[in-house]
Amino acid sequence: MSKKIIATTSLAGCFGCHMSILDIDERILQLIELVEFNKSPVDDIKKFTKQVDIGIIEGGCCNSENVEVLKYFRENCNILVSLGECAIMGGLPAMRNGIPVEECLQEAYLDGPTVSLNKEKILPNDPELPMILEKVFPCHEVVKVDYFLPGCPPRADLIWDALVALVTGNEMDLPYEVVKFD
Amino acid sequence: MKEKVVEIISKYNGDRSRLMDILLDIHDWQGYVDDASVDVLASELGISAAEVNETISFYHFFSNKPRAKYNIYLNDSITACMRGRAQVEQAFENECGIKFGTVSADGVFGLYDTSCQGMNDQGPAAIINDLVFTNLTPYRVKALVDGMKEGKEIKDLVYEANGDGNNADPDMQVMVQNHIRKGGMLLDKNFEPYAVVNNMLKDKSPEDVIQIVQDSNLRGRGGAGFPTGLKWRFGRRVEGEHRVIICNADEGEPGTFKDRVMLTEFPELVFEGMAIAAYATGADIGLVYLRYEYRYMLDFLNRKLQEMRDANALGKDIGGIKDFNFDIRIQLGAGAYVCGEESALIESLEGKRGEPRDKPPFPVEKGYLDYPTIVNNVETLAATVKILQNGSEWFTSFGTKDSHGTKLLSVSGDCRFPGIYEVEWGTSIREVLQMCGAENVQAIQVGGPSGVLIGTRDIDHLNKTELMNWYKPSGMMTAEKFFDRKLSYSDLPTGGSMIIFNKDRNLLEEVVMNFMDFFIEESCGSCSTCRSLPQIMKEKLEKILSGAGVRQDIDDLLSWGKVIKVSRCGLGQTAANPILSSILNFRHLYEEHIQAMTDYDNTFDMEGLVKASCDFVGRKPVFHNS
Ligand SMILES: Cc1cc2nc3c(=O)[nH]c(=O)nc-3n(C[C@H](O)[C@H](O)[C@H](O)COP(=O)(O)O)c2cc1C
Ligand code: SF4
């Protein structure tokens, strides 16, 4: 059996989900037997070098770059998985969704108590910078997403089981404790 | 000012469970509940200000901001919309010079949207300073508002003669019409009030009474259809210092108005039913929870209760039966559909937010002030009188094998004779349509928004197993023509609301959207499923109607409809029904809008979404092709 190819990325997330991937501990050695990594912060490959089987997305979309990366993943991955609360629901960043984006920028760069050093009242407007979206979006509202792994972060065992299921093509065991939310 | 609030509180003996009445009195006095009054209430009643505020904010007819001299609550139920509500709304806005949801700067006018007021057969209707105005037209609106501008008394602005029957009673005097189109055992003026309580009960033990009701197979008419005799038996079995009979007159399901007519024309029957229930279960406390929209009946009903006391059918040693003591108090609601749910109703009766309780314990075990409590619908209670009078065998001779007696139907929508029809169980939809003069019918909403939308199509060709998976009210999958379906607990159960739509109506855009808005508005917000999913599902439907929908969107709606069933009470559990039953019976209306060639469309518009932030920071948007 040829190795499955995996790619991962973190969009508007905190890298906690990636930390959780690393929490599979020594099983990472087993994982390396099963899969090959392509574009991912794990191996620092920046561009896809081939079509990938499974793309794992942490974080939702809060700016234009997130959207571009997500679309890039969709084009290059056969299966896309939203990993964790932010990718699935927008998560903590989406708490700004009830506030107009102008007010957020105003507070973050001009009015907030910690911006006293911004004496010239500069707003980040370099054309090189990603553009902020009006709202934070979960990934499946931007591209088609095939699977969702809930948790904040999802437990390492859950990630492990899901990866094994995807790689081996077996059904995954999802007991009640895993999908109940309160 | 503080003195006035203290005075109101002492009128209710500082009883925290009477907070609803206290707030109503404060409203009558100054139109709203200000912060200072909230503080007085909190300290005098020994509760937190938050508890007072959460109660005020929960109910539609309470406010913590000043309301106007003339408060106009315009009904937004679907039939009102079908009868020209949009023009009426526009006329109110033009004449008053303000938008709905606001109060004019001079404090003269306040305009508010309101859910169904139980006037579906004579809408659009509005409640203005507690008085009901029916059959509104832009012309009438202008006359009304002109009168208000001149500062006239609201009752001098009534433009139609008083309604029929007791609607013209000196204590009522409203233009509401009963529209009784077909009578039966309940809607029968030929009866002697309190005959059962005064003459018959003394020969029967409470156990006998329960047995008779149980033998009659009477089932609750409030919608859920629980066997009444059994409920009484449970209530009797539980020990308690007091036991409580509650008559549920909240009648909030859009499209029903039969309890209004029962209470207008046959209050004796309803109250006598409560007394019978009290005798059977050993209850001594009686409460009627009357929806605020029917406040115009309050004086009339209180007079009827006094007459009943005078006739020894209420009070002490009722009907000459020693120690049979029972009295009834009417509690007004304040505008919340969910308060029709029995445990929410009890919370409200205790002066709290009408938030449903977790069950068990059920009200029969632990209800009003933790006493064993029996909640019955207006119509159920009335039927028990006829059963006691004529016997259970007589009663079971009406109806079908599993559904006995008659049912009051509230018929509205596209038909010539909207109104109340008392029919035997087992009557088919087709027969009802013929009775009420409905032609060119496209669909009928049976049981209100929480019920089902049925059509004329044959359903043989649908994939039944697939559909059974997500939606199975009993008998839903018979291969009959829908209109031949019979009103019965096994085929088409109903609380009595029937709204008819003709072929010119746009079912999804007009009807389903209206119903979803209703649930979104009326959810108490306690369960995340019921708080969010109706909104999310409505947005999905909007997406489909906009032409951006894909097949997956319909599947999503169906699977979310399953998730919402875990909600705590019936409101959430049925809140997806407008969408689910329209997909089931009118799937082609959805398919028409679906894009056939794509399996994903998010309508995600990056350019539009970055515009606000780019403008704010002062930069040009740059798009890369990834
Ligand atoms: C959201 C909701 C609203 C309800 N509204 C009413 C109502 O307005 N009137 C009513 O009698 N029952 C209503 N019910 C049903 C009551 O909870 C209860 O089952 C009924 O009053 C019991 O009386 P019955 O057995 O005589 O039908 C409602 C239930 C739910 C879940
Ligand atoms: S289902 Fe809805 S109305 Fe009922 S308790 Fe839950 S949130 Fe409240």
pLDDT over 90, % of chain A: 77
- Structurally, chain B folds into a number of domains equal to 4
Residue B546 and residue B412 share a domain: yes
Same domain membership, residue B445 and residue B319: no
- Mean pLDDT confidence for B547-562: 94
Compute the distance between CA of residue B202 and CA of residue B198 in angstroms, rounded to an integer.
8
pLDDT of residue B238: 95
DSSP assignment of B205-248: -HHHHHHHHHHTT-B-TTSS--BHHHHHHHHHHS--SS-EEEEE
Whether the pLDDT of residue B543 is over 70: the answer is yes
Residue range B492-540, pLDDT digits in tens: 888 899 999 999 999 999 999 999 999 999 999 999 999 999 999 999 9
Indicate whether B109 belongs to any domain.
Answer: yes
Quick check: is B387 in a domain? yes
For residue B336, the Cα-to-chain-centroid distance in whole angstroms is: 8
> Taking residues A147-166, what's their average pLDDT?
91
User: What mean pLDDT do residues B583-610 have?
Assistant: 91
Helix (H, G, I), strand (E, B) or coil at A147: strand
Q: Give the tens place of pLDDT for each residue, B84-108.
A: 999 999 999 999 999 999 999 999 9
Average predicted confidence (pLDDT) for chain B? 93
Taking residues B372-398, report their average pLDDT.
98
**Same-domain status, B83 and B195:** no
Distance A63 CA to ligand 2 centre (A): 36
Which of B527, B613, B622, B625 to substitute to test the interface with A, most A CBs within 10 Å? B613
pLDDT at B459: 43
Q: Which residues of A touch B623 (CB under 8 A)?
A: 64
Residue B473: predicted pLDDT? 47
Q: From ligand 2's centre to the CA of B540, what distance in Å? A: 21
Structure tokens at B159: 């433009």
Residues 6+ away with beta carbon under 8 Å from B361: none
pLDDT of residue B53: 97
The verdict on a CB contact (< 8 Å) between B612 and A72 is: no
Domain layout of chain A by residue ranges: 4-96+135-178
Kindly indicate the confidence band of residue A114, based on its pLDDT and cuts at 50, 70 and 90: confident
Q: Among A176-180, B162-166, B244-248, B272-276, whose mean pLDDT is lowest?
A: A176-180
Give, in order, the Cα–Cα distances in Å from A63 to each of A18, A137, B608, B620. 20, 9, 12, 15
Q: Name the closest residue on chain A to residue B625, using Cα atoms.
A: A68
pLDDT of the residue at B596: 85
Indicate if the pLDDT at residue B471 is higher than 80. no
Could you tell me which residues are beta bridge partners of residue A52?
Answer: A77
Looking at residue B221, which CATH number applies to its domain?
3.40.50.11540
Read off the tokens for B422. Answer: 């008392």
Q: CATH number, domain at B435?
A: 3.10.20.600
pLDDT value, residue A1: 59
Q: Cβ contact (<8 Å) for A64 and B610?
A: yes
Ligand that lies nearest to the alpha carbon of residue B530, given by its number in the listed order: 2
User: What's the predicted TM-score (pTM) here?
Assistant: 0.90
What does the alpha-carbon distance between residue B497 and residue B251 come to, in Å, rounded to a whole number? Answer: 10
The one-letter amino acid at B457: R
**ipTM, 2 dp:** 0.92
Residue window 576-615, chain B: list those with CB within 8 Å of chain A.
599-600, 602, 604, 606, 609-614
Q: Give dist(CA B122, CA B202) in Å, integer.
A: 43
Tell me, what's the pLDDT at B613? 97
Same domain for B387 and B248, yes or no, is yes
CB of residue B450 inside a 6 A radius of ligand 2: no
pLDDT of the residue at B108: 96
Is B401 inside a domain boundary?
no
Cα A170 to Cα A34, A92, A161, B35, B575, distances in angstroms? 14, 33, 10, 62, 36
Q: Which residues of B212-245 are buried (b: 16+ CB within 10 A; e: fewer)?
A: bbbebbbbbbbbeebebbebbbbbbebebeebbb
Does the pLDDT value for residue B460 go beyond 50? no
Burial label for B466, CB within 10 Å (0-12, 13-18, 19+), is: exposed
- C-alpha span between B378 and B328 (Å, rounded): 14
Q: Which residues contact B211 (CB under 8 A, 6 or more apart)?
A: B229
**DSSP letter, residue B342:** H
Share of chain B above pLDDT 70, in %: 95
Sheet holding B109-114, edge to edge: B102-103, B109-114, B70-75, B126-128, B131-133
Last residue of a domain, one of B17, B36, B58: B58
CATH class, range A4-96+135-178: alpha beta
Choosing from B58, B337, B342, B523 the residue with most ligand 2 atoms within 8 A of its CB, the one to mutate for a pocket test is B523
Percent of chain B with pLDDT over 90: 89
Going from the Cα of B530 to the center of ligand 2, the distance in angstroms, rounded, reads: 6
Say if residue B505 is in the same domain as residue B376: no
Q: What is the mean pLDDT of residues B361-369?
A: 97
Instruction: For residue A124, list chain B residues with Cβ-Cβ distance below 8 A.
Output: 617
Residue B469 has pLDDT above 60, yes or no: no
Domain residues for the domain of B228 are 182-396
Average pLDDT over residues B321-336: 97
DSSP B39-67: HHHHHHHTS-HHHHHHHHHHSTT--SS--
What pLDDT was estimated at residue B457?
Answer: 57
- Predicted confidence at residue B101, as pLDDT, reads 96
Counts for chain A of helices (H) and strands (E), in that order: 7, 7
Separation CA B82–CA B413 (nearest Å):
7
Per-residue pLDDT at B124 exceeds 90: yes
**Residue A8 main-chain phi, psi, to 5 deg:** -140, 160
**Which H or E element spans position B104?**
none
Do B112 and B140 reside in the same domain of the chain?
yes
Please, what is the Cα angle at B326 between B321 and B330, to 5 degrees?
Answer: 150
> B16-70 pLDDT, tens per residue?
999 999 999 999 999 999 999 999 999 999 999 999 999 999 999 999 999 999 9
According to DSSP, residue B326 is labeled: B
Query: Is the distance from CB of A58 to CB of A15 less than 8 angstroms?
Result: yes
Same domain? B357 vs B413: no
Any idea what DSSP says for residue A173? P
What's the number of CA atoms in the CB half-sphere (13 Å) around residue B431?
13
Q: What is the pLDDT of residue B462?
A: 47
- Backbone dihedral angles phi then psi of residue B443, each to the nearest 5 degrees: -160, 160
Of the candidates A102, A123, A141, the beta carbon closest to that of B602 is on A141
By CA distance, what is A47's nearest residue in B?
A: B626
Q: Which residue among B16, B34, B58 closes a domain?
A: B58
Provide the b/e sequence for B495-509 (b: ≥16 CB within 10 Å): bbbbbbbeeebebbe
Is B113 in a helix, a strand, or coil?
strand
Same domain, B247 and B352: yes
Task: Report pLDDT digits (tens) over B280-319.
Answer: 999 999 999 999 999 999 999 999 999 999 999 999 999 9
If one counts every other C-beta atom within 10 angstroms of the C-beta of residue B324, the result is 20
Binary contact (A68, B612; C-beta < 8 A):
no
Quick: pLDDT tens for B176-221: 999 999 999 999 999 999 999 999 999 999 999 999 999 999 999 9
Is residue B235 domain-shared with residue B357, that is, in the same domain? yes
Kindly tell me if the per-residue pLDDT of B480 is higher than 80. Answer: no
Tell me, using a 6 A CB cutoff, whether residue B339 lines ligand 2.
no
Per the CB < 8 A criterion, the answer to whether B70 and B148 are in contact is yes
pLDDT for B458 equals: 41
B174 lies in a domain? no
Instruction: Give me the phi and psi of A105, to 5 degrees please.
Output: -65, -40
At A62, the pLDDT band (50, 70, 90 cuts) reads very high
CA atoms within 13 A on the CB side of B524: 29
For position A181, what pLDDT does the model report? 60
Could you tell me if the CB of B250 is within 6 A of ligand 1? Answer: yes
pLDDT digit string (tens) for B404-454?
A: 999 999 999 999 999 999 999 999 998 999 999 998 999 999 999 999 999
Q: Is the pLDDT of residue B554 over 80?
A: yes
Asked if B471 contacts B599 with a C-beta cutoff of 8 angstroms, the reply is no
A-chain residues near B602 (CB < 8 A): 141-143
If pLDDT is split at 50, 70 and 90, which confidence band does B625 have?
low
With a cut of 50, say whether residue B155 has pLDDT above it: yes
Q: Report the pLDDT value the prediction gives residue B493, as an integer from 0 to 100.
A: 87
pLDDT at residue B477 is higher than 60: no
State if residue B567 touches ligand 1 by the CB under 6 angstroms criterion: no
Q: What is the pLDDT of residue B299?
A: 98
The Cα of A148 is separated from the nearest Cα of chain B by a number of Å equal to: 15
